[in-house]
Structure 1
Amino acid sequence: MSTRRRAAVATTLTAALALAAACSTRDPSADPPDAPSSTLTLPPGSGAPVPTQVGTASSGPAREVRADVVGDLQQLLDTRAAAVLAHDRASFEAGLAPRASLLTTEGVYFDNLVQLPLSKLSYRLEPASLLRTGDAYWGVVEITLQLTPYDALPTRTLDRFRFVPAGSGSYRVSSTTDRAWEADHAGLQQPWDTEPVTVREGAGVLGVFDTADERESRGVVRSVQRGIADVSARVPFDEWGSQAVVYALSDPRFLEGFDDLPGGDPEALDGLAFTVPAGDDEIASTRFALSPTLLSRAGARRPDADLDRLVRHELVHVAVGTHDDGVPLWLSEGLAEWVSWQASSPQERRVPAAALAAARRGIRTMPGDGSFNDDDAATHYALSWWVCEWLVRTYGPDAPWTMLEAFTRRPGDDPRTVVRDLLEISVDQLARRGAALMRTTYATPTTPTTPTTPTPPRPSATG
């Protein structure tokens, strides 16, 4: 099954990513024993003054904070960012407390980041979050990171660091892990934050892998390159720049980090497209992940047709981006399925046996968003594809995109009203016509002829 996070889930994902604890490759056994369980956290950019006394019930009496400590800690964080951008491991490690476990786990984090095409990286201390415990300080840090040219805007996440004195008024980072804080601010972590990764680039492709060998990772990148060329020619949007970031990870933690994952089982997903927020309700990019079970296909000597089709499906979601926000799943997934099959000959286009059996029995209604990814998901995906096929064969190749435009021009309107205003039939009638076309197409081995196309549908004037 392949799918994309929809509007309701994207809202959850946006909130989660905005609060993600960004560096959890760290060894839990290395956590300082006095990590406080609560803190004062203000939103990024609040510009709040530094409190002169801070404390919590769990950390004992309030302690004074030196007036210049914020500047010292920010200088340490600036040096940390500059070291990563300069690929200067020695300077990066000089800002860490000399503890073997910390140096190891932070070394993994450094090795991951220096492989990425970073154009921006910064760590900014939130002054009002500072909490003194003994001679050390805990503070919330906003991390800004941009992958160029893949991100339209920088991503922003939050983490919590512990700083310890290093003599002569200087400090070092002694921890980037506070398990209690992370539990309260649970969010999706990017793979380079949680495990050792290998990054491979191609023309317009950034691939992130963990256990894939060189042949498998090259195969994934080449499949995405082929998909980009095909999808770019068929999707009428250019904001995505014909480029994509793809993850192929054997570690399940990334997919498990999504709330309300379609179908509920990350191992049942072949692919997943998702948005990465930039804050302030803006989107940095749309990326996608592939199941690690597909890596063997990617490593084959010849291109795998099924892998390429799945990649094209996910790339449609990347290319469409936010244009399908608020659009019913049967249209957004139908578009992705329909486009993904266009590079295949009619003889190669297959539907699941269960979907064809359902069409022959008689499909009466269009699946709703709540049931789209249930046990009949394969049938729903096939039906949505053939609804788009019916639109194309009835009104012409622009008809599915015209319907998408009708929905985007009328946000919040009842989908049933949008469809009836556009086509003068109901949503369920549209489903029945798509099912009938599927049934007749696969009734004989011959390829059906395309009927004469009438005038394409137009969005309602009230939109």
Structure 2
Amino acid sequence: MRTSRGTASAALACLLLLPLSGCQSADDGTQPASGAAGLPSRSDPPAGMDESLRDAALALIDAREEALVDGDREAFLSTVDPDELTFSATQARWFDNLAQLPVTDVSYELGDESVMTQVSGAGDLQLPVDFTMRLDGFDRRPVTQQMVWTFTRDGDDALLADDRNTQIDARTGWTPAPWDLVRIEVRREGGILGIFDEDTEQHADYVMSDLAAASEAVRARLPRWNGRFVAYGIADTSAIDEMSAMTVENTAGVAFPVLAKVGGPVAAYRFAVNPTVVGDVLGRSLVFRHEIVHVAFGASDDRSPTWLVEGIAEYLARTTYPVDERRRISAYALGGAQPRTLEPTRRFYSRDAAANYELAALVCDYVATTRGEDALWSLVRTFQTEDFGMWAATEGVVRRELGSSTRELSRQALAWARAA
């Protein structure tokens, strides 16, 4: 039991003595002792600001880095407050998770202390800590995460009671990775790193095979891409829910950038798939190809209108099917749909998303099949350098590059599909 928590019995004894010793006359010349009855002294530091613990806390930060680098589980967990049972358990799980990953460039550094003005006090001392790591072979640069650690006193030493802070997480937009959430199972095949959990690992071998086939299919269309990526397929959908513009139920997968630090640059592109997709033997390959296209494009289409971004991904995902089959699929899915202007903004995901995906894919397929895929790649490159202030202006770019508005292109594409 730590000293700071071992004063409870003494405090109780003082409280029992109060009726006898605490009612002296105010004019007897005596003053009550500071901190009497175990109450906090006016000189005690506010929660989280006990600077007398600073050196011990900094030493603990160094010890945790050394233990993590050395793979010393016992030393790593010895820095954790054993009274914090939930935190102790999650730290053990987290250490075991990282042991399965190709982690390198690991470090803990004291962070920007000015952020502490945004933090509600807790524990004996709180300090900002920057945690850095890189997935070797998958991240182009190390990834640094801003954290706030909460320390408690253990005699003259410090122990870690928490490493997360809701204010800092909200400020930095932190999204937990699978190894932060659950016990993971890792599979690696060539340039593919698959992350599963106890609910999805039963499908892991088949999923890795499908991911490899999907990667080969995409590389055949985008040969400059190196084919290396990380895919998440766990039962916890909280991260997908946070990142997707649609509901989780309507989201098959999400591709996303991993920033090297808050504000960039990008260290890697990864994707997460809904657990229902992981177990879908028939449908998951199409979803994998779609998301891998997003990973392969990376930031090169981040200034393209949404219809073009999603349309190209879905078109390329379907190119494993013969063109006439793709036309029939689109004609059936779009039914009696009428020509319309394609949605350039994120409203694409909230206003009849299914029809938006289908029509965008059909238009991209029509352009690529009748004019060649270079027409699509040229349009993406143009948007990457084009100077426009509003998404509505993208219509003019399309008209200039392809000679038609998106409404006219959708009319032509629908007629093409229905003629199959």
TM-score tier after normalising by the smaller chain length: 0.7 to 0.9
**Paired residue for 1:278?**
260
Residues 3-152 of structure 1 correspond to what in structure 2 (within 5 A)?
Answer: 60=46, 65-66=51-52, 70=54, 72-99=56-83, 100-126=85-111, 128=113, 136-152=124-140
Identify the residue that residue 217 of structure 1 maps to in structure 2: 204
1:255 alignment partner AA = I
Deviations 1:182-233, CA, capped at 9 Å, x for gaps = 5676632222112222222112111112233544011222111111111112
Offset at residue 164 of structure 1 (A): 2.8
Of stretches 131-140 and 203-212 in structure 1, the one that deviates more from structure 2 is: 131-140
Following superposition, the deviation at residue 404 of structure 1 comes to: 0.9
The aligned residue for residue 142 of structure 2 is: 154
Q: C-alpha displacement at 1:138, in angstroms?
A: 0.8
Are 1:251 and 2:236 counterparts? yes
- 3-state SS, counterpart of residue 390 of structure 1: helix
Which of 369, 373, 383 is the matching residue for 2:349? Answer: 373
Q: Determine the C-alpha separation between the residues in 2 that align with 1:219 and 1:102.
A: 34
Distance 1:331 1:385 in 2: 8
Whole-Å Cα distance in 2 between the matches of residues 235 and 159 of structure 1? 38
Find the residue that maps to 1:273 and give its secondary structure: strand
> Structure 1 residue 275: deviation in Å?
1.1
**Hey, what's the Cα distance between the residues in 1 that align with 2:56 and 2:46?**
24
Indicate the residue corresponding to 2:176 in structure 1.
189
Distance 1:198 1:64, change over 3 A: closer
In structure 1, distance between residues paired with 2:49 and 2:344:
56
1:351 aligned onto 2:317: no
Q: Which runs of 5+ in 1 are unaligned?
A: 1-57, 299-303, 442-463
The structure-2 alpha-carbon separation of the partners of 1:328 and 1:134, relative to structure 1 and needing over 3 Å to count, comes to closer
Does the 8 Å contact 2:111/2:146 carry over to 1?
no
Contact 1:84 1:92 in 2 (8 A): yes
Name which one, 1 or 2, has greater alpha-carbon Rg. 2
Please tell me whether the aligned partners of residues 137 and 164 of structure 1 are also in contact (alpha carbons under 8 angstroms): yes
Q: Shift of the alpha carbon at 1:364?
A: 3.1
2:186 partner SS: strand
- Count, aligned residues: 368
Partner amino acid, structure 2, of 1:257? E
Cα contact 1:70–1:127 (8 A) shared by 2: no
CA contact 1:237–1:320 (8 Å) conserved in 2: no
Q: Is the 8 A contact 1:356 1:439 kept in 2?
A: no
What does the per-residue CA deviation read over 1:133-192, in whole Å, with 9 as the maximum and x for residues that have no partner? 89931112111121111111222222221123445x542212224456656766322221
Is the contact made by 1:324 and 1:408 (CA closer than 8 Å) also made in structure 2?
yes
Name the % identity. Answer: 29
Structure 2: 5+ residue runs without aligned partners?
1-43
Contact 1:365 1:432 in 2 (8 A): no
Give the RMSD, CA atoms, in angstroms.
2.9
User: What is aligned with 1:383?
Assistant: 359
Q: Residues 59 and 214 (structure 1 numbering): CA distance in 2 closer, same or farther, change over 3 Å? A: same
Helix, strand or coil at the partner of 2:198: coil
Q: Secondary structure at the match of 1:287?
A: strand
Q: TM-score, normalised by structure 1?
A: 0.72
2:30 maps to: none
Measure how far apart 1:356 and its partner are: 2.7
**Could you tell me whether the CA contact under 8 Å between 1:74 and 1:124 is conserved in 2?**
no
Q: Greater RCO between the two (CA within 8 Å, min separation 6)?
A: 1
- Structure showing the higher helix proportion among its residues: 2
1:65-91 deviations in whole A, cap 9, x for unaligned? 34xx65543332232123223321111
> Which residue matches 2:216?
229
The corresponding residue for 2:304 is: 327
- Do residues 417 (structure 1) and 396 (structure 2) align? yes
Q: 1:82 to 1:230 in 2, by over 3 A?
A: farther
- 344 and 83 in structure 1: CA distance in 2 versus 1, 3 angstrom threshold: farther
Alignment pair present for 1:428 and 2:415: no
Q: Which of 240, 244, 267 is matched with 2:249 structurally?
A: 267
The C-alpha deviation readout for 1:265-287, integer Å capped at 9, x for no partner, is 11221111111111243111111
Instruction: Give deviations 1:333-371, integer Å, cap 9, x for gaps.
Output: 111011111122346535367743234xx3132233243
1:297 is matched by which residue type in structure 2?
D
1:253: how far off?
1.6
Q: CA-to-partner distance for each residue in 1:114-136, whole Å, 9 max, x for gaps?
A: 11110122221226357998993
Query: How has the CA–CA distance of structure 1 residues 182 and 393 changed in structure 2, closer, same or farther, with 3 Å as cutoff?
Result: closer
Q: Does 1:198 find its partner at 2:185?
A: yes
Contact in 2 for aligned 1:245/1:288 (Cα 8 Å): yes
Report if the CA contact (8 A) 1:136-1:162 is conserved.
yes
